[in-house]
Amino acid sequence: MATRPEDFARTDNRKLKSLLQDEGIFTESDLRAYIECHYGKSSKIPFKIYRKEDIGLDREERIYDAKVDYIRTIFDIPKIRLRDTYDISFDDCVFVGELSIAYNSEKVRNIYIDSCVFKGNLIINVDEPKSIIIESVNCPNLRISGSTANDLHMSNCNLGLFTVENSKIANLETYFNCIKYLQISGNTFKEVVFSSSQLVLPKLPSFLHDRLKTKIVNDFNFLKFNASLDFDKLSAQSHRVARNETYKFILEHSDVKLDRDTYAHIRYLESISSEQSLLSSFLYRVSGALLKPSRIVLIMAFVISAFTWIYSLPCLQFMAPGVVGSIRRGLTLPESAYYSGVTFTTIGYGDIVPLGLARWLAISEGFFGVLLVSAFLVSLTRKYVE
């Protein structure tokens, strides 16, 4: 059975990035020089270096050990295939090649991969493991295919391509990852926690052909640790999701519906908590998410008042009733209030006719009137009928 190097206990809490940088490993050429310099020697380095002949691979690069547990190990091996290994743990490891994990036995098993980097693919094809935990992993291509798992937890990973296909996963949780390209197909999930902030959305292709997959793998720098993750932003996103789920729980499972005002207020809070952009959040707050008719009334009153003041400006001219018939003149403040009201409600009696610039202002107020009256009716319906 393969075991961890006995010389390295878990007393040093430095993670892989610090370990590599302390050893002067920043690029693939640095890593290759480091391997050639220290392999097979009793150097006092924090890593154990293994090649194919050191871990008992057969002719097809397979290991059949029931349990593997490695820490701070560099695998200078093109491909490693774990078959029917029911307990797997890799911590602070470097894979110069590919790691493939596959088995279908009925034993309870776990897969734990923490603070590891892969130059090649990480492929998982397993049947009903108790848990799969992948944390702080750099990998050009992580593929989970044809698997059945109770729990899949992935966090703080930097991935070129992340694929989940033809799998049944009860609980999928992903946090604080940076995923360049994502492919999901033919899966069954029961519970999922996945934030879109983990994706590089503008780069998601409509169709990921084989040539593009090859380019992703070849361009991926597995020794470049992602420093662009905005953990404050991602944490805020997680808090928003938690708030939103809390509001949904109250709406669906409590007796809050008995109080119409409280129910509408919680629906309003749930609406604004799901909005991420500042503009959308501002519009939702100002309009009450079309759940607070009183806010629409206030906006209507503000618009009528604002146009009342605008129409009273001396520079605007109207055909308005005079001593004898209609004459060209400005409006008094009471006349402006009257004209603003009939224009906002699109009544338009015709006794006052705008001229020049005032025509375009009247059209604008009429547009606001139609929009806000419709919003008011929608808010009444959402609060008192739905």
Does one domain contain both 138 and 217? yes
Burial class for 217, CB neighbours closer than 10 Å (0-12, 13-18, 19+): middle
109 and 23 part of one domain: yes
Same domain, 164 and 175: yes
| Domain match, 216 and 99 both | yes
- Which domain range does residue 251 map to? 230-285
- Predicted pLDDT at 48: 92
The answer to whether 183 touches 208, Cβ cutoff 8 Å, is: yes
Q: Torsions phi, psi of 288, nearest 5?
A: 70, 25
DSSP 258-304: GSHHHHHHHHHHHHHHT--SHHHHHHHHHHGGGT-HHHHHHHHHHHH
The reported pLDDT for the residue numbered 372 is: 94
The pLDDT, as a whole number, for residue 59 is 82
The confidence score (pLDDT) of residue 5 equals: 38
Model pLDDT, residue 3: 38
- Same structural domain, 76 and 148: yes
Q: Do 260 and 356 fall within a single domain?
A: no
Contact 197, 174 (CB under 8 A): no
pLDDT at 6: 38
CATH classification of the domain holding 378? 1.10.287.70
How many domains is the chain built from?
A: 3
User: pTM (2 decimals)?
Assistant: 0.61
- Residue 7 located in a structural domain: no
Q: Tens-digit pLDDT profile for the chain (386 aa)?
A: 443 433 333 334 358 888 998 999 999 999 999 999 999 887 788 899 999 888 888 888 888 888 889 999 999 999 999 887 888 999 999 999 999 998 766 665 789 999 999 999 999 988 777 789 999 999 999 999 988 888 899 988 999 889 999 998 999 998 888 888 888 888 999 988 887 778 875 555 555 566 777 777 788 888 887 654 555 555 666 667 777 778 888 888 888 778 888 888 888 888 777 766 777 778 888 888 888 888 999 999 999 999 999 999 999 999 999 888 889 999 999 999 999 999 999 898 889 999 999 999 999 999 999 999 999 999 888 888 76
Are residue 29 and residue 174 in the same domain, yes or no?
yes
* Domain-located, residue 4: no
Q: Which amino acid is at 383?
A: K
What is the bridge-based pairing of β-strands 131-145 and 122-126? parallel
Query: What is the predicted pLDDT for the residue at 10?
Result: 39
